[in-house]
Amino acid sequence: MTNLLEVRNLSKQFTSSGGPFRRARAMHAVNDVSFDLPKGRVIGVVGESGCGKSTLARLILRLIEPTAGTLHFDGEDLRAKSPAQMRGLRARMQMVFQDPYSAIDPRYTLQRAVMEPFVVQGRKTIGSEADEVAALLEMVGLNPGLASSFPHQISGGQKQRVGIARALALRPSLLVLDEPTASLDVSVQAQIISLLEQLRDDLGLTYLFISHDLSLVRYFCDEILVMYLGRVVEALPDTELAARHPYTKTLMDSTFAPDPKQRRVIAPLEGEVPSPFDLPPGCAFADRCPQATDICRSETPELAERGGHPVACHHPI
Amino acid sequence: MLEVRDLQVAFGAVAPLSGVSFSLAKGETLGIVGESGSGKSLTAMSVMGLLPLSGGRITAGSIMFDGQELTTLAEPAYRKLRGGRLGMITQNPMTSLDPLQKIGPQVDDVSRLHLGKTAAEARARTVEILGTLRIPEPALICDRYPHQMSGGMKQRIVIAMALAADPDLLVADEPTTALDVTVQAQIIRLLDDLVKERDLALVLITHDMSVVAQTCDKVVVMYAGRAVERGPVQAIFDAPQHPYTQALIGCIPKGLSEDEHLIGIPGTVPTVLNYPKGCPFHPRCDRAQEICTTERPAFVHNGDSAAACHFAGSAP
């Protein structure tokens, strides 16, 4: 299997400039992330708010510039491309955004919204190719008659379908899905997920699926990357593998089984994700980890195969 | 503690809510579940007496709270009850707190108003409540502003405000929808402990069947402004009778089996202006027959649970 996407040591550092009463601070939103995404696979990136998963998505499409690391898409070095070349390449790599309510211009008809990628790529002019739009809307399960509607006239689930149709307009091979169902009802979420499954099979798509819902990721994805404060802490090559990082285990324990018989006294993780500014040395999870020892507070564990799949922990389970 | 009978709500000529009944005792958690637009929040607002704010009114039915009829209660009396013995937790903690006021005074106000505490007593009580909600360094938190806190922390403050006047009934409207899964687990666990420790009655509104499975004793499933199924949680999950309940349970990814398939529920919830005739669910139901399009199904009782479906009891 060839790799559609190869990410090596990707990092993004944001700095807040200091002022008269504040010193300059730096945060590593994404820190030394490496992975391969083979053609036709679905990799899930999972973690809490602020773990850097959305930043990672934007870095991969170079919507923001990485601070360090390399990105190869279908053999091409993305970081060596000029903005114009990058724009051409993005026809083959598209993104579906989290909030369908703000991802579509409220003054555009759905027809115009779905046409937008063609306009950006200079391929077509507005008003032409109504058939193309109709075919795209149909592909995502929308009635082509909706083409002249405005976003406020349709539901959230329908908007997300428009977002997917727009992403598919240029026939990309890679879709980056940034929490595409986070703002939707569970019933609509299930519809969107089954649509994405069907599109993957029909069009041979490759997905990078970003979510905070581990049970959804385990259902939908082939591989899982677990992120915590900008780093990949565990890479599960198979969704059925047991967690070895205490953080992944906590995430798994936090998901609710839809069965009152399996009601468990969840021992929830105390505390919350610490501030990503000026992180202390050592493992970022040490403060919340029940198994933390002295070494965890002094040395940052590397992501390495410790008998099994890669995990970044001094004391894997 | 709370008994709602045949509640009907109207906005002008349209009736978005009708025939909703349920009851709840102390120390019990009742889940109201359904998709957006099914009338869950409207039910919560009716109980809290907040309908007039949005121009709605209760046209039929009764809401009994601890032996007191709430539908005919005058606003000044309601105001004493609401925030006092009737606590509410809203969906979005980001918008439930005053961004210009420190945390401490916001929580203090509740016990000063409802329990007549002095400023010092109220602050002591606030600190104590924040402590029981496992908020670290409660005394320091009182001097913070909402923007200095995370979403999970803000939701705890909102819960603290609901608890400050020692309520008997707590209505939580999607309390964890805006939160991360780990924080959701913390908040759900916290609510569960509160129900047991304080002998509270909790109405938990959610669209997520897995939250219901983990926390509730009883369930009311709502669709298009009506209760379509109700009963003890175990019975509902063991043998859901209404196709809508079955579909909602089917929306949750269960585990890792390869042949498991999420299908979702085709179509969307009807808006109040075009509620279908007959069974409101029939346009989206794969078992719908002729009778479903014309006749509204009555509740079919089965033990403690009941479902409003023509084919309840004959489920595959």
Encode pLDDT of B10-69 as tens digits: 888 888 888 899 999 999 999 999 888 888 888 998 999 888 888 888 998 999 998 889
Pick from A90-99, B203-212, B264-273: least confident: B264-273
The angle at the Cα of B276, spanning B56 to A111, to the nearest 5 degrees, equals 90
Q: What is the pLDDT of residue B316?
A: 47
Cβ count within 10 A of residue B286: 9
Q: Which residue has the tokens 């498991």?
A: B260
Distance between CA atoms of A256 and B209, rounded to whole angstroms?
Answer: 9
Integer angstrom CA distances of residue B189 from A251, A256, A264, B137, B200: 15, 11, 10, 20, 14
A230 within 8 A of A248, measured Cβ to Cβ: no
Contact flag A272-B183 (C-beta cutoff 8 Å): yes
Strand partners, B137: none
Tokens for A273, please give them. Answer: 């994700």
Element (H, E) at B29: strand B29-33
Query: Does residue A96 carry a pLDDT above 70?
Result: yes
Contact flag B35-A187 (C-beta cutoff 8 Å): yes
Q: Which residues of B touch A213 (CB under 8 A)?
A: 181
Cβ count within 10 A of residue A117: 21
DSSP conformational letter for A257: P
Q: What is the pLDDT of residues B276-315, one digit of tens each?
A: 888 999 998 888 888 999 988 988 888 889 999 998 876 5
A119 within 8 A of A129, measured Cβ to Cβ: no
What is the number of alpha carbons within 13 Å of residue B161 lying toward its C-beta? 22
Please name which of A172, A120, A2, A13 lies closest in space to residue A72, comparing C-alpha atoms.
A2
Q: What is the pLDDT of residue A124?
A: 67
**Smallest CA–CA distance from A260 into chain B, residue:** B213
The angle at the Cα of A23, spanning A19 to A27, to the nearest 5 degrees, equals 115
Residues 6+ apart with CB under 8 A from B193: none
Tokens for A186, please give them. Answer: 């569970």
Tell me the whole-structure pTM to 2 decimals.
0.85
3-state secondary structure of B261: coil
Q: What average pLDDT is seen over chain B? A: 88
Out of A188, A216, A256, name the one closest to residue B214 (CB).
A256
Helix axes B119-132, B151-163, angle to 10 degrees: 130
Distance between CA atoms of B107 and B87, rounded to whole angstroms?
Answer: 13
Q: Which residue has the tokens 């000044």?
A: B76
- ipTM value: 0.79
Distance between CA atoms of A193 and A186, rounded to whole angstroms?
Answer: 10
Distance between CA atoms of B277 and B292, rounded to whole angstroms?
Answer: 8
Integer angstrom CA distances of residue B188 from A265, B104, B184: 11, 24, 6
3-state secondary structure of B247: helix
Q: Which residues of A touch B150 (CB under 8 A)?
A: 272-273
Distance from CA of A301 to the nearest CA of B (A): 23
Distance from CA of A225 to the nearest CA of B (A): 17
Residues 6+ apart with CB under 8 A from A201: none
**Cβ burial, residue B112 (10 Å; 0-12/13-18/19+):** buried
Which site among A42, A183, A187 would you substitute to test the B interface, given the most B Cβ atoms closer than 10 Å to its Cβ? Answer: A187
Distance between CA atoms of B84 and B201, rounded to whole angstroms?
Answer: 14
Q: What is the pLDDT of residue A265?
A: 63
Q: What is the pLDDT of residue B12?
A: 84
Query: Does residue A269 carry a pLDDT above 80?
Result: no
* Interface contact A305, partner B, CB < 8 A: no
Contact flag B209-A186 (C-beta cutoff 8 Å): yes
Contact flag A270-B233 (C-beta cutoff 8 Å): no
Cβ count within 10 A of residue A186: 27
Query: Does residue A277 carry a pLDDT above 80?
Result: no
Higher-confidence position of B316 and A44 = A44
Distance from CA of B222 to the nearest CA of A (A): 14
- Output phi, psi for A268, to 5 deg: -70, 155
Cβ count within 10 A of residue B95: 11
Residues 6+ apart with CB under 8 A from A225: A33, A35, A43, A44, A45, A46, A232, A234, A235, A236
Cβ count within 10 A of residue B234: 17
Pick from B15-19, B176-180, B223-227: least confident: B176-180
CA–chain centroid gap for B76, Å, is 24
Tokens for A228, please give them. Answer: 């915590």
Q: What is the pLDDT of residue B27?
A: 92
B135 within 8 A of B101, measured Cβ to Cβ: no
B70 within 8 A of B85, measured Cβ to Cβ: no
Element (H, E) at A223: strand A223-228
CA–chain centroid gap for A17, Å, is 28
Contact flag A269-B186 (C-beta cutoff 8 Å): yes
* Interface contact A194, partner B, CB < 8 A: yes
Which site among A185, A194, A201 would you substitute to test the B interface, given the most B Cβ atoms closer than 10 Å to its Cβ? Answer: A185
**Smallest CA–CA distance from A189 into chain B, residue:** B264
Contact flag B209-A258 (C-beta cutoff 8 Å): yes
**Cβ burial, residue B150 (10 Å; 0-12/13-18/19+):** middle
Top mean-pLDDT range of A168-182, B82-96, B268-282? A168-182
Higher-confidence position of A24 and A304 = A304
- Give the pLDDT band (50/70/90) at residue A185: confident
Q: What is the arithmetic mean of pLDDT over A225-233?
A: 92
Q: Which residues of B touch A240 (CB under 8 A)?
A: 256
Query: Does residue A92 carry a pLDDT above 80?
Result: yes
Out of A157, A255, A257, name the one closest to residue B181 (CB).
A255
Cβ count within 10 A of residue A298: 12
Parallel, antiparallel, or unpaired for β A223-228 and A42-46? parallel
B244 within 8 A of B281, measured Cβ to Cβ: yes
Out of A194, A268, A273, name the one closest to residue B186 (CB).
A268
3-state secondary structure of B206: strand
- Give the pLDDT band (50/70/90) at residue B3: very high
Contact flag B263-A194 (C-beta cutoff 8 Å): yes
Q: What is the arithmetic mean of pLDDT over A107-133?
A: 81
Out of B234, B254, B264, name the one closest to residue A191 (CB).
B264
Distance from CA of A75 to the nearest CA of B (A): 32
Element (H, E) at B305: strand B305-308
Q: What is the pLDDT of residue B257?
A: 57
